[in-house]
């Protein structure tokens, strides 16, 4: 019985540590924002996504349609969107005070609504510093083929 209590306590504390980690994301600049965002997408880390994305975040998909922050987070949480692997390359960051633009390529493999994809994408990410912290406010993807 004593061992069971210790095990339960360990599980609860481990969960608290994971929550604390996802809420403590503090990017130093726009480049950090990009790295954290893409890692959170691949890790299905909705806590970090909620922390790193501004409340008015949107992503523009391949057909030019914007997808809101909460839609993207729900899609990851519910398994509608699954990023199995992703490799960033050619990252270039330009900083303009409290605004940063990050461009690069992302080779991503995964599934959308159980349909597999394996795409090479160009992206442009906009991050802003507001209230003392950096947030991603916009992301746009263009297929490279």
Residue 135: which domain range?
Answer: 27-143
C-alpha closest to that of 69 among 141, 22, 143, 139: 139
Structure pTM?
0.80
Read off the pLDDT of residues 3-51 as tens digits, 9 standing for 90 and up: 433 333 333 333 433 444 445 568 999 999 999 999 999 999 999 999 9
Predicted confidence (pLDDT) per residue in 114-142, tens digit: 999 999 999 999 999 998 999 999 999 99
Question: What's the domain count of the chain?
Answer: 1
What is the reported pLDDT for 24? 59
Q: With a cut of 80, say whether residue 83 has pLDDT above it.
A: yes
Query: Any idea what the CATH number is for the domain that residue 91 is in?
Result: 3.10.450.50
How many alpha carbons fall within 13 Å on the CB side of residue 108?
23
Place of tokens 């004593």: 2
Residue 1 lies in a domain: no
Whether residue 8 is contained in a domain is answered as: no
CA distances from 16 to 25, 63, 128 (A): 15, 40, 29
Kindly state whether residue 20 falls inside one of the protein's structural domains.
no
Q: What is the pLDDT of residues 86-101, one digit of tens each?
A: 999 999 999 999 999 9
Mean pLDDT of 102-106: 97
Q: Is residue 114 part of a domain?
A: yes
Report how many helices (DSSP H) and strands (DSSP E) the chain contains, helices first. 4, 6
């Amino acid at each position: 019985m004593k061992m069971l209590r210790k095990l339960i306590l360990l599980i609860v504390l481990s969960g608290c540590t994971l929550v604390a980690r996802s809420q403590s994301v503090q990017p130093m600049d726009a480049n950090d924002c990009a790295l954290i965002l893409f890692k959170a997408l691949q890790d299905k880390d909705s806590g970090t996504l909620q922390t790193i994305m501004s409340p008015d975040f949107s992503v523009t998909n391949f057909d030019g349609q914007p997808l809101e922050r909460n839609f993207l987070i729900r899609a990851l949480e519910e398994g509608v969107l699954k990023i199995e692997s992703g490799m960033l390359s050619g990252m270039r960051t330009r900083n303009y005070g409290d605004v940063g633009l990050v461009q690069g390529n992302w080779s991503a493999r995964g599934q959308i609504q159980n349909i597999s994809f394996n795409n090479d994408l160009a992206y442009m990410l906009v991050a802003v510093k507001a209230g003392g912290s950096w947030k991603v406010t916009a992301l746009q993807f263009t297929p490279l083929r």
